[in-house]
Amino acid sequence: MEHIAIYPGSFDPVTNGHLDLIHRGLKIFDRIIVAILKNPKKQFLFSLDERMEMLRVSLNGSPLVEIDSFDGLLVDYAAQRGASAVLRGLRALSDFEYEFQMALMNRRLNREIQTVFLMTGMRWIYTSSSIIKEAAQFGGDVKGMVPAGVNERLIAKFSRPVDRRCAWTVSGWIFGNFRCSAGWWRPKVFPRRQHSSTSPSRPSAAMSRTLKPISDVG
């Protein structure tokens, strides 16, 4: 009997961490179906077709991995595809709390579908699609964290004119520098305003004549 697992997710975009989990999952299961949930209420950077295409290219058309999409309950889709398990990755304790709740709910809905957790590889434990997108948005180099084709799409997606948004860095708070994809730059420094002789911060000549040193008072 063929053992099939469903690996669900949004994959917006697919990362090297996702690919690592798929390759390791194939050592346990005969076949893996990478399933993208259709969620019209959620805003994605890449369209469903773009995400499916990036997965196909990143996996080099592996015959043991199928790319598909679904809507509705995950356990219902798994049963329709003849899968016996749901494959999920865990990066940290915060992931476990959410995944544990989902696994219990799926088991309540269909006790024939098991959830299998794999720990994320140490190289990818800090990466996620959302973090990678945020870094790429501000010109960060995410090469090595995503497949080459995905990196090219991210660069094309976030390419902007010269007056693009810039992100503060630690040195920005100290030195007034911004970090842009175009490089470092310092905002224009406006000349300090000259105080007039009548400025409240500096006593006028008339006031100076009436002020006496403390030692002279009394």
For the chain, the domain total comes to: 1
113-146 pLDDT, tens per residue? 999 999 998 889 888 999 999 999 999 999 999 9
Residue 45, Cα to own-chain centre: how many angstroms? 11
Q: Which of 31, 58, 88, 129 is catalytic?
A: 129
Give the pairing of strands 114-119 and 85-90. Answer: parallel
Residue 125 to residue 94: CA distance in whole angstroms: 12
58 in any annotated domain: yes
Give the mean pLDDT of the chain: 81
180 in any annotated domain: no
> Domain containing 21 — which CATH number?
3.40.50.620
80 in any annotated domain: yes
157 in any annotated domain: no
Of 90, 70, 114, 106, nearest to 21 (Cα)? 90
Q: Which of 23, 56, 81, 91 is catalytic?
A: 91
Going from the C-alpha of 200 to that of each of 193, 194, 207, the distances in angstroms are 14, 13, 11
Indicate the pTM of the whole model: 0.72
Which residue type, as a one-letter code, is found at position 109? L
156-204 pLDDT, tens per residue? 999 864 344 444 443 343 334 444 444 444 444 444 445 444 444 454 4
**Hey, how many other C-beta atoms are within 10 angstroms of the C-beta on 71?**
10
Q: Which of 27, 41, 42, 209 is catalytic?
A: 42
pLDDT above 90 for 39:
no
151 in any annotated domain: no
215 in any annotated domain: no
139 in any annotated domain: no
Cis before 200? omega within 30: no
62 is catalytic: no
Which residue type, as a one-letter code, is found at position 91? R
* CA gyration radius, the chain: 29
pLDDT above 50 for 210:
no
69 is catalytic: no
Residue 22 to residue 151: CA distance in whole angstroms: 19
91 is catalytic: yes
42 is catalytic: yes
The predicted model gives 29-35 an average pLDDT of 98
Q: Is 109 in contact with 73 (CB distance < 8 Å)?
A: yes
24 in any annotated domain: yes
Range of the domain at 31: 4-127
The predicted structure's pLDDT at residue 60: 93
Q: Which of 18, 88, 133, 179 is catalytic?
A: 18
